[in-house]
A = this chain, B = another copy of it.
Amino acid sequence: MSRVYNFSAGPSTLPELVLQRAASEMLDYGGSGQSVMEMSHRSSAFQSIIDRCEALLRELMEIPEDYAVLFLQGGASTQFAMVPLNLAVHSGKADYILTGQWAKKAASEGKLLLGEENVHIAGSSAEGNFSYIPEEQSLSFSPDADYVHICLNNTIYGTLYPYIPDTGNVPLVADISSMILSQPLPVSRFGLLYAGAQKNMGPAGLTVVIGKKSLLEDARPNTPTMLRYKTHLDAGSMYNTPPCYAIYICMLVLEWLKNDIGGLKEMEKLNREKAKLLYDFLDESTLFKGTVEKDSRSLMNVPFVTGDKDLDSQFVKEAEKAGLVNLKGHRTVGGMRASIYNAMPLTGVKALIDFMKDFEAKNR
């Protein structure tokens, strides 16, 4: 077996130790004689898994007591609906900042559910093809909004907010799918955070919501039961059968983060080291160039181009042959994108840079 370096934007590479443990426990988890896939979600064995997963997440992210952790399904796309349905219960109005495709999709869903007139765009970098995060002083918040929605790290465009917007008393809601657990985050600055697991936490099919409990109590009339946070809050994420196996893999990833990496500060150090290597190379290269303004650069997703579409395609193809896979950029940006999530080792980034140097030498 020969493992590749997988730069996929999500689902994405997982720690090899996690996969090895999952394989070894596949037919018998902890002497239970069952796979985690086969366990009743009402069994004490599975209750221990979901409890441990939540406890580890709380510890690693330093989640305050008055915040709930929910393990849901449906991806960030379902959160695009749940956020307005559950949070827009006072004025019925919401602010959105547009910094990429997912932020735009979230805003569209807000408009669908709240009415076009109740969604205010508080900032946007659309006119620059989302290659930067708007400056904080340029944002215009509505004082009576029920929440402000942002996408903290933009997977497609490779941008990360260099600041956390100050929204005063209006709850700040953030999609953190592609940066959760990559560095410490001051959870109490947010009203609600959500993330699809398939980037830094585990397999696709699990969505984690971290929300201030007081924000999860209400919902707009006629909100379907499964789209109410309160349904899942009251039932400890077990109103119906949760995605048990994905929660188990998430638990293994969190254990790896705690025990093998040493927590989020250590993870951030490693992620900064990986990103710096790649960005420094891009800044010096005469062939490759990053597409994002320097102060908005993501630590997780690094898009770059040669400026020549045929050469971009050739690069992606040759890289794949060299065991560096999923480097094709999103069609809206073109070129290449290296997603260097938590589980991408430093050796993988170094291998990519070495390959880029070689390619540059041959194609100058």
Interface residues of A (CB under 8 A from B): 1-4, 6, 8-14, 16, 19-20, 22-24, 26-28, 32-35, 37-41, 43, 73-78, 80-81, 85, 109, 112-113, 196, 198, 202-206, 222, 224-227, 239-246, 249, 323, 325-326
Task: Please tell me if the beta carbons of A81 and B204 are within 8 angstroms of each other in the complex.
Answer: no
Given contacts A12-B38, A26-B26, 15 further A-B contacts (CB under 8 A): A1-B27, A3-B27, A3-B34, A4-B34, A11-B38, A19-B37, A73-B78, A73-B243, A74-B78, A85-B224, A109-B225, A205-B205, A205-B242, A205-B245, A245-B245
Of B20, B81, B113, B244, which contacts A203 at CB under 8 A?
Answer: B244
Asked if residues A28 and B1 are in contact (CB atoms below 8 Å), the reply is: yes
B203→A245 contact, CB < 8 A: yes
Contacts of A81 on B, CB cut-off 8 Å? 224-227
State the CA gap A11–B242 with chains docked (Å). Answer: 10
Contact B32–A14 (Cβ < 8 Å): no
Q: Are A28 and B3 in contact (CB under 8 A)?
A: yes
Picked from B19, B225, B241, the residue with its CB within 8 Å of the CB of A204 is B241
Knowing A3-B28, A227-B81 are in contact, say whether A11-B244 is a contact too (CB < 8 A).
yes
Q: Do B11 and A239 have beta carbons less than 8 Å apart? A: no
Determine whether the beta carbon of A39 is less than 8 Å from that of B11.
yes
Contact call A243/B241, Cβ cutoff below 8 A:
no
Q: Is the CB of A112 within 8 A of B11?
A: no
- A9–B240 contact, CB under 8 A? no
B33 and A4 contact, CB distance less than 8 A = yes
Q: Inside 8 A of A13's CB, which chain B residues have their CB?
A: 34, 38
Which of A39, A81, A240, A241 has the largest number of chain B CB atoms within 10 A?
A241
Instruction: Assess A204 versus B242: contact at CB under 8 Å? Given A1-B28, A32-B4, A85-B224.
Output: yes
Complex contact A41–B2 (CB within 8 A)? no
Q: Pick the residue among B74, B85, B227, B325 that contacts A73 (CB under 8 A).
A: B74
Please determine whether A14 and B40 come into contact, CB atoms closer than 8 angstroms.
no
A332 to chain B, nearest CB (A): 14
Nearest chain B CB to A316 CB, angstrom units: 13
A242 to B73, CA, bound (A): 10
Q: Which residues of B sit under 8 angstroms from A113, Cβ to Cβ?
A: 222, 224
The answer to whether B196 and A241 touch across the interface, beta carbons within 8 angstroms, is: yes
**Contact between chains at A35 and B8 (CB < 8 Å):** no
Report the 10 A-B pairs with minimum CB-CB distance, sorted nearest first: A205-B243, A4-B33, A81-B224, A23-B26, A73-B73, A77-B240, A37-B203, A8-B40, A205-B205, A204-B241
The reply to whether B41 and A243 form a contact with Cβ atoms under 8 Å apart is no
Cα of A14 to Cα of B249 in the assembled complex, Å: 18
Known contacts: A73-B205, A74-B73. The answer to whether A241 contacts B198 by CB under 8 A is yes
Point out the residue from B33, B109, B202, B206 that lies within 8 Å of A325, measured CB to CB: B33
CB atoms of A112 and B222 under 8 A apart = yes
